[in-house]
Amino acid sequence: QVAKFCEHAFRIFDKDGSGSIDFPEFLIAVSMASTKDLVRKTELFFSMYDIDQNGLIDQNEMKCVVESIYELMGLDIHDSTRIDMKVQEIFAKAGCDQSGYLTKDQFALACKNDRYIRKLLVPKTKAPNNR
């Protein structure tokens, strides 16, 4: 159940694309994963959701990572309608425009301002005013 999520996490820490994590990459991974700073955590998770690394998150990318999170939590991932609705809700709450993409700024603002989005997309962080 952990495999899909680990693939997404591994991709963002393997900066040189070598297929392995060297010691400097490991140190960066530990530092980023252990921070509770919302800005740093948001940047980390944005990279995880931005699978094709084009600087934008589309609904398919979001769905792929949300499915891996649901699977990690032991939730039913076979109910694709429920997951699609969750992704659409996240995009709507984040203020996604007609482009169908979330920018890094939209993602960060949504995580800062919406407790539900933050809890699902950037776990174990708090907004500056504990919202």
Query: What is the chain's pLDDT, residue by residue, as a tens digit (131 residues)?
Result: 567 778 888 888 888 889 999 998 889 888 877 777 888 888 888 998 999 999 999 999 999 888 888 887 777 777 778 888 888 888 988 888 667 899 999 999 988 888 888 887 777 666 666 55
- Asked if residues 120 and 66 have their Cβ atoms less than 8 Å apart, the reply is yes
Beta strand 56-58 pairing with 101-103: antiparallel
What's the pTM value of the predicted model, to 2 decimals? Answer: 0.78
Q: Give me the domains of the chain, ranges plus CATH numbers.
A: 3-121 (1.10.238.10)
Mapped onto helix, strand or coil, the DSSP state of residue 108 is helix
What pLDDT does residue 102 have? 93
Count Cα neighbours of 43 within 13 Å in the Cβ-side half-sphere: 9
